[in-house]
Amino acid sequence: MAELVEAVGKTHQRPLGENTSIYTVSCNFHFLVNGHSVLVNHNVTPFARTAEGEVWLALCLVSPSVHSDTGHIEATVSSPSGYSVYTFENHCWKKRKKQLILTEGERTMLHLSAQGYTMSQIGEKMYRSVDTVKMYRKRVFDKLGVSNISEAIAFAFNYNLL
């Protein structure tokens, strides 16, 4: 984790007061719930700094992990043209183009699903049939490589698709 913090600090320092919410540090770990181990992803995105440049306000999001094991740690820096991910294999930043683009209908369906609405309720709110909502879900599952709505929501939040 120290290597990751140093890599973000050295490579992507920004002037004080500039928006830092494009930076996200993410890691997977097991969390014990009622004696059962659950693999979760923890994202931290800084929003404000002190006069000395220390992060004092950040958004922390814990969600089910989209990976199957622990140890997945990365820093992501987003830009309009894509994003960069710090990898531990090469100890460097890799630029990646944004490959996953969700349509407005797919994003709306995910937002409403994350709020707990059923498919028929989502259809009513979107003025679409249940079959159209099912089509949005299937396309999202295919694009994200997931098998259920919980994984899709976690993936979308973890990779800033919403």
- Could you read off the pLDDT tens digit of each residue along the chain, which spans 162 residues? 566 556 655 554 443 344 444 677 778 888 888 888 888 888 777 767 777 767 777 778 787 787 777 777 777 776 656 667 776 667 777 776 666 788 999 999 999 998 999 999 999 999 999 999 999 999 999 988 788 888 888 778 767 677
| Contact by Cβ (8 Å): 119, 133 | yes
pTM: 0.54
Integer Cα distance of 67 and 35 in angstroms: 21
Amino acid type, 20: T
Going by C-alpha positions, the residue among 93, 101, 92, 88 that lies closest to residue 159 is 101
Integer Cα distance of 126 and 117 in angstroms: 12
